[in-house]
Structure 1
Amino acid sequence: MSETALKPVSPILVSLVVSLAAFMEVLDTTIANVALSHIAGSLGAGSEESTWVLTSYLVSNGIVLPLSGWLSGLMGRKNFFILCIVGFTVTSFMCGISTSLPMLIVFRLLQGLAGGGLQPAQQAIIKDSFPPEKLGMAFAITGITTVLAPILGPTLGGYITDNYSWRWIFFMNVPVGLLAAFLVKILVQDPPSAQKQNVGSIDYIGLGLIAVGLGALQIVLDKGQQEDWFDSSFIVFFATISVISLIVAIYWLLQQERPVVELKLFKIPSFGMPCVMMFFVGFALYGSTTLLPMMVQSNFGYDATLSGLLLSPAGVVVLFMMPVVGRLVNRVPAKYLISLGMLINALGMWATGLVTPQTDYATFVFVRILQTLGLPFLFVPASTLAFSKISPQHSSNASAIISLTRNLGGSIGIALVTNKLIHSQQIEQSYLVQHLTMADAGYRYALETYTQAMTNLGVPAALASTQAMGKIYQELLHQASILAYRDAYNFVASLLVVLGIAALFMPDNKPQKQEAPAASH
């Protein structure tokens, strides 16, 4: 008998219940981004110091993610999931009542530790709740959480911050968390493979190496741009620690009989290659979600709420596309859907690079929809293919690895596109400055027009010329910034095109013809 047959509760209902908790946690990865200036002002801190509110959460979250499979085996997956929900709820409340920045950072660190196990546990529970031929629909439900929450985070965070208080960003988790914990307690059941197991004593060496390596890597990615990357001894130190720790960790984990992270799962081709694709799902999702609000706020005068609302329609489109792709997975090989998703996203990134200073709100909404339209074609097939050869006893470990690769992709994506943006601004500005000479007809015309306009307002001739040059330089900076965003989007588009072609060489999958993994267990 299949393990899924042991569950009397509807798989759809179980999926919705566990997704409620995971949605809350994923939302918190982006919801605080737009509130940093408010948090800094309220707690008497600088804007640079306030970024540790994000960093502390991401660092601790990244450390727990790969350990969640081992912890699920130690205490049982359901018990671990409930513990994560309760811990996340309590620490969310403590974040909301924090009276100083150090206090908030400590509780954000604990919040990340508590919430780190929610995504992998949710994915593993949903995977084991559905028969193999319906895995596509299962991961369509998972994808709604994973893809929709980061899109809606800035919208919700901006609205709450502008209309209420940044503290409600954390307080809103309390009733949701309590409800989720209650529903999981009464509705979710662990199959035999997910109950308490004899996992042995924890591999403290492996755990320590992973914690140090991932923690240092996250600090490098989050602080690299502010510290001027490898020109900073601070970044060089943490980068060195990260590389050494992770290399030693990989070697150590491969030698262990009971490792905290099952790296040997990467030997399965249908698991390893989709993990690479999931890395770039995070890259495209978080990178693009970071760029667009920055662009419209810095160059088009949008406030936090309006820039967040810019992202919402795309979230609605993703919501409707997920079940559609979930049905397509059993009809079309995953590699073709993944390739299509990469190319659609690439088209959206390229289209966003075509914006001009006159681009309106409706156009931004359209290009954002195009940016995210391909995400369901990436997430659902990649998840389905990754789990197609994973046995139930390895579900939790596989989920932890997939969640980690996606989150790392997001962190690296944000770091790379931000660095590309800053570098391109300098290049574009240098290029445009070359045209600010009297030999350039456009510059002469603009200077004469602005000087005449200033003179007509009663400004003395000498001062009018100076002010006109200042006005032209402001426009130059504005145009250089928009061109830099174009370069950043084109960079992401080029990468996605290459990946779209590479996806065609992934293993074939025919999930509708596979036998249930549990049957062989």
Structure 2
Amino acid sequence: MNGNSMIEYGYRRLIITLTAMICAILELLDTTIVNVALNDLQGNLGATLSEVGWVVTAYGIGNVIIIPMTGWLSRQFGRRNYFTGSIIMFTVFSFLCGQAGSIWTLACFRFFQGMGGGALLATSQTVITESYPPEKRGVSHLIFMMGVIIGPALGPLIGGYIVDNYSWPFIFYINIPLGILAALLSMQFIRSPRYGDKLPASKVDWLGILLLAASVGSLQYVLEKGQEEDWFNDKTIRNLSVVAFFGLILFVWREITYRHPIVAVRTLKNRNLAAGTLFSFIYGFGSYGSTFIVPLFTQSQLGWPATDAGLLVCLTSLSSLLIFPLTSWLLKTGIKPQIIMACGMVLFFFNCYMSAGILTPDTGFPVFFYVLVFRYFGLNMILLSISAIAFSSLKTHEIAEGAAFTGMIRQLGGSFGIAIITTFITRRNAQHRMDLVTHLDTNDPLVWERLHQSQQAFVAKGFTPDHAMRSGLQLMEHAVNKQATLLSYMDVYFTIGFLFLACAPIVLMLKAGKKNAITDAH
């Protein structure tokens, strides 16, 4: 079977694209839809805040374990069978999540839902990419990335509406009708490339599967729980860090030396894919990290309700749908993707600089909206360019491995970004607070004057002088903490921005793939 045999035309391509888009949106929707229901889950299931966090963590661990294995599983069972089976698994465990009667039962079901969902994302990208001819591959990337944006954007908004008007199980039940539709369409229209005979059980890389699950699962746990457990001061974090480090080394060695690896690590010898994978990590770090800051800052510092914060993220994310065609057009004009990516990184740096500048205790919705919309110009240029570079010289049978690598690394980059940013904010906040406190000397006339004014204001409200003085000191303490937090968020934006600015020259040094590589691949 030659490469062109997987290209689809007419209504078949439309239905296949729609099916893959539904699956990608469902998977990514469930990465964010639960976040707004954590308070309800905590109350209804009698869980602590730490326990309810496992509802999010378990899904992420299931995702990152299965994503690198999608190429091998597609070859082993056939793409249509594997894709359809993953949809069914995701749908069944969505129903079971809604039926869960305890927090640990829900976390267990979320883990298996995440395994089904992780398979959907990577396979959807492969299905869409291979359904289009080489000259329309940019369009296929554009379509897939639209799903990548829509899913996480709609999650908080839909989740908030369901929790406010119905009950938490319905955030899982909404997956069921779409999952059934996608499974039926997949069985009817998705085709499987001819990979050759599947391996007998005796030749399956069981050790590789074990090492992958142990190392990536441990790493995801460390990243998601590290700040909460005070990192390496916690014995579990230390032990799992050792498992993750040595497990990844042994896993890579196993996949390079074993005859039938579950993950084709050798594919990373392709320089374009290796570069795309590296920059997928950086993109995930900056994109997920900077998105994480927005609802955190608006709710904790500005006092916004969760609905307003979710609406801001949703509207600005959906604005990307208007920006993607522009980026796609730039790629079609013949401009090298390296140049577009470097320009995107510079734009993203300027956006981080702008974002730091607008942070005040009174920043309003419109200011955030316009700055965040501008942010997506840079991010979209980076994201589409990564796909163009990573897949430019891959052969047809290598696309699934490439999609798995970039997808897993992008998600791990996001986990690293959120974990590091959370720790960074905490530590910079402590440092800024210490610096600010050193300048608050009650012998300073300006400090004393402000404290005296606060005291008089409280006395006017009926407080005793002593009580008024204590209240004035508490008010000053609150102002110091708020200023320290504000400065720490600004530091985060500057740090992320300079990381992307430093990467721009490196991107320009990448060599373009051979022009005939795409044609040869098909």
Q: Displacement, 1:357?
A: 0.7
Q: Secondary structure at the match of 2:319?
A: helix
Rounded Cα–Cα distance in structure 2 between residues aligned with 1:515 and 1:30 = 35
The aligned residue for residue 446 of structure 1 is 450
Rounded Cα–Cα distance in structure 1 between residues aligned with 2:223 and 2:499 = 19
Offset from partner CA, 1:43-100 (integer Å, 9 cap, x none): 0010011111111111121111111111000111121111111110110111112111
Rounded Cα–Cα distance in structure 1 between residues aligned with 2:47 and 2:41 = 8
Aligned length: 516
Match of 1:349 among 339, 347, 352: 352
Q: Displacement, 1:155?
A: 2.8
Q: In the alignment, is residue 46 of structure 1 matched against residue 48 of structure 2?
A: yes
Rounded Cα–Cα distance in structure 2 between residues aligned with 1:284 and 1:426 = 23
Q: In the alignment, is residue 431 of structure 1 matched against residue 435 of structure 2?
A: yes
Offset from partner CA, 1:110-138 (integer Å, 9 cap, x none): 10111121111111111111112221111
Q: Displacement, 1:175?
A: 1.2
The aligned residue for residue 377 of structure 2 is 373
Instruction: Please list, as runs of the form range in 1=range in 2, the aligned pairs for 1:247-262 lying within 5 A after superposition.
Output: 247-262=249-264
Query: Structure 1 residues 413 and 272, CA, compared in 2 at 3 Å: closer, same or farther?
Result: same
Match of 1:137 among 129, 139, 142: 139
The aligned residue for residue 110 of structure 1 is 112
What amino acid is the match of 1:507?
Answer: K
What amino acid is the match of 2:240?
Answer: F
The aligned residue for residue 362 of structure 2 is 358
Q: Secondary structure at the match of 2:360?
A: coil
The aligned residue for residue 183 of structure 2 is 181
Q: In the alignment, is residue 383 of structure 1 matched against residue 387 of structure 2?
A: yes
Q: Secondary structure at the match of 2:212?
A: helix
Identity of aligned residues (%): 32
Match of 1:242 among 241, 244, 255: 244
Q: Displacement, 1:10?
A: 4.8
Match of 2:342 among 334, 339, 342: 339
Rounded Cα–Cα distance in structure 2 between residues aligned with 1:245 and 1:514 = 35
Rounded Cα–Cα distance in structure 1 between residues aligned with 2:446 and 2:509 = 50
Q: Displacement, 1:370?
A: 2.7
Comparing 10-19 with 71-80, greater Cα deviation is found at: 10-19
What amino acid is the match of 2:220?
Answer: Q
Q: Displacement, 1:418?
A: 0.8
Q: Where do 5+ consecutive residues of structure 1 fail to align?
A: none
Query: Structure 1 residues 479 and 155, CA, compared in 2 at 3 Å: closer, same or farther?
Result: farther
Offset from partner CA, 1:237-289 (integer Å, 9 cap, x none): 10001101110111111112221001111111111101111112211221122
Offset from partner CA, 1:359-406 (integer Å, 9 cap, x none): 111111122223333221111121122111111112222211111111
- Counterpart contact for 1:31–1:157, Cα < 8 Å: yes
Given the two structures, how large is their TM-score scaled by the length of structure 2?
Answer: 0.95
Q: Displacement, 1:514?
A: 5.2
Q: Displacement, 1:101?
A: 0.4
Match of 1:494 among 498, 501, 509: 498
- Counterpart contact for 1:65–1:404, Cα < 8 Å: yes
- Counterpart contact for 1:349–1:493, Cα < 8 Å: yes
Q: Secondary structure at the match of 1:390?
A: coil
Q: Displacement, 1:7?
A: 5.1
- Counterpart contact for 2:7–2:130, Cα < 8 Å: no
Query: Structure 1 residues 517 and 160, CA, compared in 2 at 3 Å: closer, same or farther?
Result: farther
Q: Displacement, 1:13?
A: 4.0
Comparing 183-192 with 201-210, greater Cα deviation is found at: 183-192
Instruction: Please list, as runs of the form range in 1=range in 2, the aligned pairs for 1:58-137 lying within 5 A after superposition.
Output: 58-137=60-139
Rounded Cα–Cα distance in structure 1 between residues aligned with 2:13 and 2:142 = 13
The aligned residue for residue 483 of structure 2 is 479
Q: Displacement, 1:12?
A: 4.4
- Counterpart contact for 1:3–1:518, Cα < 8 Å: no
Rounded Cα–Cα distance in structure 1 between residues aligned with 2:307 and 2:125 = 31
The aligned residue for residue 459 of structure 1 is 463
Rounded Cα–Cα distance in structure 2 between residues aligned with 1:457 and 1:47 = 38
Offset from partner CA, 1:150-176 (integer Å, 9 cap, x none): 233223323332333222211111111
The aligned residue for residue 407 of structure 1 is 411
The aligned residue for residue 198 of structure 1 is 198
Q: Displacement, 1:491?
A: 1.5
Query: Structure 1 residues 6 and 448, CA, compared in 2 at 3 Å: closer, same or farther?
Result: closer
Rounded Cα–Cα distance in structure 2 between residues aligned with 1:11 and 1:435 = 66
Comparing 57-66 with 312-321, greater Cα deviation is found at: 312-321
Q: Displacement, 1:217?
A: 0.4
- RMSD between aligned residues: 1.8
What amino acid is the match of 1:378?
Answer: I
Q: In the alignment, is residue 294 of structure 1 matched against residue 296 of structure 2?
A: yes
What amino acid is the match of 2:382?
Answer: L
Query: Structure 1 residues 324 and 477, CA, compared in 2 at 3 Å: closer, same or farther?
Result: same
Rounded Cα–Cα distance in structure 1 between residues aligned with 2:140 and 2:191 = 17
Query: Structure 1 residues 63 and 509, CA, compared in 2 at 3 Å: closer, same or farther?
Result: same
Rounded Cα–Cα distance in structure 2 between residues aligned with 1:300 and 1:292 = 11
Q: Displacement, 1:325?
A: 1.7
Instruction: Please list, as runs of the form range in 1=range in 2, the aligned pairs for 1:314-329 lying within 5 A after superposition.
Output: 314-329=316-331
Rounded Cα–Cα distance in structure 2 between residues aligned with 1:76 and 1:441 = 77
- Counterpart contact for 1:155–1:307, Cα < 8 Å: no
Q: Where do 5+ consecutive residues of structure 2 fail to align?
A: none
- Counterpart contact for 2:208–2:255, Cα < 8 Å: yes
Query: Structure 1 residues 168 and 510, CA, compared in 2 at 3 Å: closer, same or farther?
Result: farther
Instruction: Please list, as runs of the form range in 1=range in 2, the aligned pairs for 1:501-516 lying within 5 A after superposition.
Output: 501-509=505-513, 515-516=518-519
What amino acid is the match of 1:327?
Answer: W
Query: Structure 1 residues 6 and 358, CA, compared in 2 at 3 Å: closer, same or farther?
Result: closer
What amino acid is the match of 1:451?
Answer: Q
Match of 2:267 among 265, 268, 279: 265
The aligned residue for residue 281 of structure 1 is 283
- Counterpart contact for 2:12–2:189, Cα < 8 Å: no
Rounded Cα–Cα distance in structure 2 between residues aligned with 1:478 and 1:515 = 54
